[in-house]
Structure 1
Amino acid sequence: MDVGDSPLLKFAADLRSLRDKAGGYSYRQLGARAHYSATTLSDAAGGRKLPSLAVTLAYVRACDGDVGEWEDRWHQVAAEVLPPPAPNPAEGHPPYAGLAPYGTEDAEWFFGRDRILEDLEARIADRRFVAVFGASGAGKSSLLRAGLVPRLPGPTVLTTPGELDVLPDKLDLGQDLIIVDQFEEVFTLCPDPDRRAEFVDALLTARCRVVLGVRADFYGHCAQYPKLVDALTDGQLLLGPMGPEELRQVIMQPAVKASCTVETALVSRLIADATGQAGVLPLMSHALLETWRRRRGTTLTLAGYEAAGGIQHAIAQTAERTFTSLEKHQRALARQVFLRLTALGDGTEDTKRRLPRAELDADVDVDVVLDRLAHARLLTLDRDTVEIAHEALIRSWPRLRNWLATDRDGLRTMRQLAEAATTWDSLGRDPDTLYRGTRLDTAVEWTQRDCVSPSAMEREFLADSLAARDRERRLAHRHTRRLRQLVALLMVLLILAVGAVVLAIGAQKQAAWERNLSAARYAVNEAENVRDDNPNLANQMLIAAYRLSGADDLRDRVLSAHAATSLDMVSLSVLPSGPALSPDGTQLPIGRVRDIADDRVNKRLGGILTPRNTVTSFVVTPSERAYATTAESPDARIWDVTNVRKPVVAHTFTGPVTRVAFAPNGGRLLVTVEGASELKLWDTTNPYEPVLLGVLTGHPRWIADIAFSPDGKVLATIDNQSTVRLWSLENPAKPRYTGELDDGEDVSTVALHSDGRTIAVAGAKGSIRLWDLSDRKAPVRLATVEGHSDKVRALGFSADGKALASAGMDDTVRMWDLADQRRPVQRARISGPTDGVYGIGFGDQRNLVTSNSDGTTRSWEFDVETAIASMCKHVDEPMSRDEWRRNFEGIDYRPPCG
């Protein structure tokens, strides 16, 4: 038999192939295994008609085939070859709603939710604000519309955010009760966060009672509004799957009301298929509606249920049969309609959206497609809008799921184009709203793909955009051509007037500069070769090379050489705003350490040096009595280091402290992080008996790091998801959350500017980002600073806020000029050891101090003349003329430390 293109013939041929692969049983042998007659099995593989599902599965089991695969295959073929049930004009009101939710007019057909409704009524009586959460398909809309509204005595308004366009002024708050169904449309249909917040606030401040219906996967979105969270405390009702008895009422009661009966076997099968299934109600309602249409007399049968495809396949079977019945060009239109009716989820499931009828072309074929889909109960048509009957269709129809998964970026382009075209048309086709640049290129490229059909208004919008771009290009080309002609004329005149002089002077200067730079770089290489034997000579050669060329990289080499001679220091103070400084800005007494790993040094200094990765904060009180906190396992401690050689433990914390920090405003306020996400604020005026001022709990994630503002009145926390949160410490007993920054990249360190608006963050990739937090709800990124090649360990602003310091794991310390915060410029870079650095601050405008987790500090001098003077102090013998001639041949002798 020639299989051809018929799905039925292909199905039969594959059944015969399955029998051959199983060993070529005769139909008599196959009948004994399948418990069906040989004739029945032979007809099943004959290709003249589609066998029943039961016969097909028995045939497959007898041949040891994949039952699940063949069941799906049967439903696909059935959707294409089985005719839909003929409508009966006299059949009356269907007892089941199908995909559509039960409305207020369907209250008499709504059963199974009496217990939940009583609970909901009690909550509404006790509270002004109640929300019903449930999965898509759990029956929220039906519960509110057909269940709750008929039970309420007073005036009630039932609406959705989409019907109001998420505009608070459209809310009718003058009734006793307002029900806002499909509340998740606030997030899916409105991209403006301010408008969303105004809509939520209007509901929260309304004097009437409010009931929300919210999809459960948008629970986290609701948590973005603290006042909404407070309002919903003890006011939430979670709508779960129906139990067996509730399902029995949903199945039986509407049929009884319609004078129908339901086979016991069908009831048992439906309860077995639906029990414990979230979101199954629209699937079951649609399967029951299709079974009712296939009823035998007044009896709903199991055979009719299986022919309809059951809970798992009924919607897909109806949708596929309706779609394939359309003409080829109508199928393309239907595809575009379904894609426009679906809102893509961002971290949530895809949802339906209400589509204005004006977004679709006024075309006969479009009207036919909409009519066919609405007749099959797949779409709901209103006077001016179109929408999918239920989101269960999005989940259950494989063809639609495949469309949505194939090109999600293209679908977003389509949605943006539709919104832009609508805006353009509503503003009288204002040319300023047309697409330009990359957006125009992306949209045009999308319209050229297969199976893409933009609407007439979208095509006109793109045509006008392309025409406007062509006009702008012609004008720009004309302007550029004239400008070039003018510039060319001026250049000719300028060249004729001063050309000879400029060439002569320029050539002379260029030659001298190139000679000096070449000599300088040669000397730098030679300096590294002699450094081990004669470091003083090497430093003089570096200094001379820098003064000869003035090159920035040679300046950095001089600063790095000076930093290499610096010793680690044990200090009584390391402040975030100025490590190793007392409160009045003076340098504190220090002990110099050449080898911090040397046990003899530790012993000589009385034990102040601690193991690496233990010191997290130092501070000095106004009385110059110094304290240091450490995060040693298992305890964190406050040390009294009044006598640096004999430190004393002043206080030991008993909790699991992971982070500590002293406020830089005198050292009285201490913050500890306990249990990963709990902050405690302490008054350490008496370090031996710190007083607990306040506790900050409920931090949503683990705290990875903390930092203070220069005045100590603002605390920043970084969680393990790189979100920075800000807390006001005006009253330490009542810390107050003031906003957050989601930088979008890894954040492991943060610094706060003295102006209270600017914040710097950095992390693992080495980039530093500056943000303006003037509007805490809408932070603005000022600049991204690239330089470090590895993780940034610490950041710090200068006191006047005109400079930023950074230390990275790439063993560099850098200073950045912030005269223009949108265009930071690197002043200098010093190479040196940064392992264990946890803090950085300014000693003065050109000097930095880093704090290390082993209890030491290191000074970094960024003023090159100061560094040169310091290096020259240690030079006993200036560079001789012979040494100069060997390294700077042909250049006048100028000893750098003469």
Structure 2
Amino acid sequence: MRCAACSPSWSAPLEDGGYLRRAVPPDELGPIALELARTRLVTLGPDTVELVHEALVRHWDRLRGWVEQDREFRLWQDELDRQATRWRDTRERALLLRGKALQHAWATTAQRHDDVTERQREFVTASAKGYVVRLATVVLSAGLVLGLAFGVVYTVVVLISQQNVVSAENAVSALRARAEESPFDQRVFDALRAHRTSDTLYTRQSLRSLSRSLRHAVLLLRPTSVVNARGSRLARQLPDGRVELWDLAAASAIDVPGLPTGATLTWTGDDALVVTAAGHPLVVTENLAPRPGPTRTRCDGDRLRLEDAFTGAVTAEVRPSDQACESGAFSPDGRAFEMVYRNPYINPSMLQYGATDPDGPRYVAQVPNDALVTHLEVEPSGAHRVLLAVDGSALLLRIPPPDDLERALDTAHDARFTPDGRHVVLHGSDVEVWHVDSRTRTGRIEGRAEDVALDSATLAVRGEDGRITLWNLPDLAPLGDVPGPPDDVWLRFLDPGRLVVVRGQEVGVWSARTGEPIGRPFTAVGKAPLSAVAVGADQLAVVSADKWVRWHAIADGGEVPGSAFTFGGPPARSPDEPLAVDADGELLAVPVADGVEVWDLARGERLERLDVQADFEVTDLRFRDDPDEVEVTVDGVDGGGQADGGVLVELWTRDVLWGLPGLLGRDDETVERLAVPAVPGYANAGGEYGGLESGDPAAWRDVVCGVVTRSGLSEGDVEPPAGSFDGPVC
């Protein structure tokens, strides 16, 4: 049997069916080579073993039978052996097997391992390794080419995007410049188009301010039909300037003399006509009847007076604030007033309205700049119908009487939305929680609050005695309290379950739902702590006023050795600076002068910096799941206060495409403005700004477009600047 296994190696089958004596290296046969040599069937040379004579191949039937049984395999093996021999002599990679030949050799070698010689196995193995190397090279090359191609495409896209941004910014600048010289109705369209063109802090500021000005607007009147909606009355101006009113049912006319040619006539109701003349106040004929008694209304410093037109006797007077009066009007009975004044601390004009009686309720709303009050009527419901003259147009307002929530906001010291936007927390003489949609109060805590901190589930209230009480939202069920002295206290939520409290230099972490301490309070090193942020579940990063960052273990308050570093800059004064740590606790995002920086917490090294415009303030920071992505919330604090402020979220992406754009000489970071509300809303307390506002620019646009639609306004033939949004703005 041993002879049967090895003898086919001595004879090679030919393609024509014959056989050929074949020399075999001794090492392929092993010890059996010597035994066969003693039988004189083979001759043993220094390097080969072969049959003694060709006649054995032709006439030894058993040998031929053994060879014939594996004819196909022996033919393939002879060819493989010849290739293996050539490769062994030269080691050229071009001689290695490839493709289907390699697949067949690899499979056959695995199946008939004992029938394949060592040299042949070595050749097949080398061929397989060569294939892997070639494949890896191809994949790497393809990946590199693809990466470079993608990088080039990305660079081109970024360049085009940057060009589009520049074009949009130029268009916005042109729209803003045009708005300064345009009448109010055109300014409305310019503000809408500017925001549609580019959603920036500036365009959000303009849109929000416009929305506030038109919050109570019913109509913005341009020249329209002179027939009332019911078709019962008609008004026209005669060439001599007289206005002629016709009762179409009775076919009778009433003249209203004294108006110049070119006045605009607009019906605001079936029996209410507005007459607008350039350079003149508005004249309103209400029910086609004269006002009771000739009077005049004028401003005198910070006072608004109603006087008898003939004697000058003051029949009504109000001094609602210490701001200079610009225009105003009294209701026909003198019991209500409207007065426009310009607040020196904010840009827009403000309208104060309410009861003439000093002890009666008074409220404030924003109106367009340079608006003049020309007429006031008070409905039986208590709503004020006000007509304003704005750049020759007439703006009709209907201000409903305030509801319970608006009255509560008017007397509150401060108000804040919960993060989910569902509730608003007011505090002043008491603390109250209101449901925004239903506008109902859900809870009340008696007593003044020095400060509050809140998330969507828990309210922390600091009283005058320094004690911090915890309350469930929205029902204000008591949860617990955090005792302590009243000095230099600030507090913030680390997460929904934990509250950090700083009293002077002492820092502690407490359960937000029970008031129980989590770990041991510790004394912070350096200047007063300004903020803190959780680093994972067990550590706290504390930032001090001198811009040092130190890690502390929450359990025992101990400082983590080697964790302290400084990010420099002048000392900060305001507490509770926004901080963010990524999910892995490795990176810290911190606001600095005119920018945001990301630091490696372990090494104390700055990794990246994002520049922020000097008149903007960073109000919030948040890492996304990808630590290279940071959401940066900026507020436009340009001297206009909340009435002018816009807030925007920008997505700062670092190390774009693993830094590949840097290889092409381009920035490997991007900043994308997110078209999302940056805050749940604006809770304006103290009566200064007029109640709750949405934080969504889409809601502001809906308010403005509602006025445009109701008034039937259009831009006409006015061409938008190049690069601006070219579709309908509403």
TM-score bracket for the superposition, by shorter chain length:
0.3 to 0.5
Give 1 or 2 for the bigger CA radius of gyration: 2
Higher helix share: 1
Name which structure has the greater RCO, CA cutoff 8 Å, separation 6+.
Answer: 2
- TM-score, normalised via structure 1 length: 0.30
